[in-house]
Amino acid sequence: MNEIKTVDTRGLSCPQPAMLTRQAIQKLDNGTLEVLVDSGTARENVSRLAKNAGWAVTMEEQPEGSCRIVLKK
């Protein structure tokens, strides 16, 4: 079973969420990466970055107002 890596960027301002996501996907050739964000801009930037890198993107809104972005490759 594949391990899910998590990058928690809640509370960070742009461009930090996208930069941390980029570093994580560069280290992970394939598998599943979970990115937690709490702003609309970070959600858009992380999603765009992942799609451009060839990752499938699924977003799940969380009850506390954050978003869980699941990246798979």
Write the pLDDT tens digit of every residue in 33-72: 999 999 999 999 999 999 999 999 999 999 989 999 999 9
DSSP 8-state symbol, 62? -
How high is the pLDDT of residue 17? 98
How high is the pLDDT of residue 61? 95
The count of domains in the chain is 1
Long-range CB contact pairs, 15-22, < 8 A, 24+: 15/45, 17/42, 17/45, 17/46, 18/42, 18/45, 18/46, 18/49, 21/46, 21/49, 21/50, 21/71, 22/49
pLDDT over 70 at 32, yes or no = yes
Write out the residue range of the structural domain in which residue 35 sits: 4-72
Residue 51: CATH number of its domain:
3.30.110.40
